[in-house]
């Protein structure tokens, strides 16, 4: 049973209210990412303008984490280079698999659990798909790894073989 203050007089209206409610978990997950992952409640900025600018960035970051998590479930066969740059997926693959990356980018459904494993996801048979918490933790580590990888590549190009 759902309680609502919106008029629901027909079966079609009830179906629409249920569809609205079915989106609630995604909204809750997005807000949890904002609060816990981006730590928006810890912001101590001196002005409204600064807070708005910071929140605008945090909203995009939280959306990307939520979207990437969701795409790993809903569109698992899309190549991961649609979502990650080359340095990100290649260093991730090399670090976790302990082998050179494949010539073609692997599908996002294979990469999302690997990112989440950097954030504590164990990927056991009884575990469900990774959530936003392990994704944001994993993406933080991945960003640092990709930055270091990029710096090494730049240095090697300067120094030569």
Lowest model confidence (mean pLDDT) among 4-8, 98-102, 121-125: 4-8
**In the chain, where are the structural domains located?**
11-159
CATH of 11-159, one of 1.10.10.10, 2.130.10.10, 1.10.740.10, 2.60.40.10: 1.10.740.10
The model's pLDDT over 48-82, given as tens digits with 9 standing for 90+, comes to 888 888 888 998 999 999 999 999 999 999 999 99
Are the C-beta atoms of residues 40 and 55 closer than 8 Å to each other?
yes
CA nearest neighbour of 108 among 142, 68, 60: 68
Mean pLDDT rounded to a whole number for the chain: 91
The model's pLDDT over 136-158, given as tens digits with 9 standing for 90+, comes to 999 999 999 999 998 988 888 88
pTM of the model: 0.80
Burial pattern 62-80, b for ≥16 Cβ within 10 A else e, equals beebbebbbbbeeeeeeeb
Class of residue 144 by CB neighbours under 10 A (exposed 0-12, middle 13-18, buried 19+): exposed
What's residue 146's pLDDT? 95
């Amino acid at each position: 049973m759902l309680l609502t203050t919106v008029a629901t007089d027909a079966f079609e209206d009830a179906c629409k209210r249920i569809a609205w409610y079915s989106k609630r978990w995604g909204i809750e997950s997005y807000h949890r990412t904002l609060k816990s992952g981006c730590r928006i409640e810890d912001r101590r900025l001196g002005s409204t303008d600064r807070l708005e600018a910071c929140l605008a960035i945090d909203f995009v970051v939280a959306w990307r984490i939520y979207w990437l998590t969701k795409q790993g479930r809903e569109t698992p066969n899309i190549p991961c280079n649609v979502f990650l740059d080359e340095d990100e997926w290649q260093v991730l693959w090399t670090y976790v698999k302990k082998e050179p990356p494949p010539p073609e980018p692997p599908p996002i459904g294979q990469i999302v659990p690997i990112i989440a494993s950097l954030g504590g996801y164990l990927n056991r048979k009884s575990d469900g798909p990774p959530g936003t918490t392990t994704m944001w933790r994993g993406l933080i580590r991945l960003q640092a790894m990709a930055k270091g990888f990029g710096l090494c590549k730049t240095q090697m190009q300067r120094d030569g073989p």
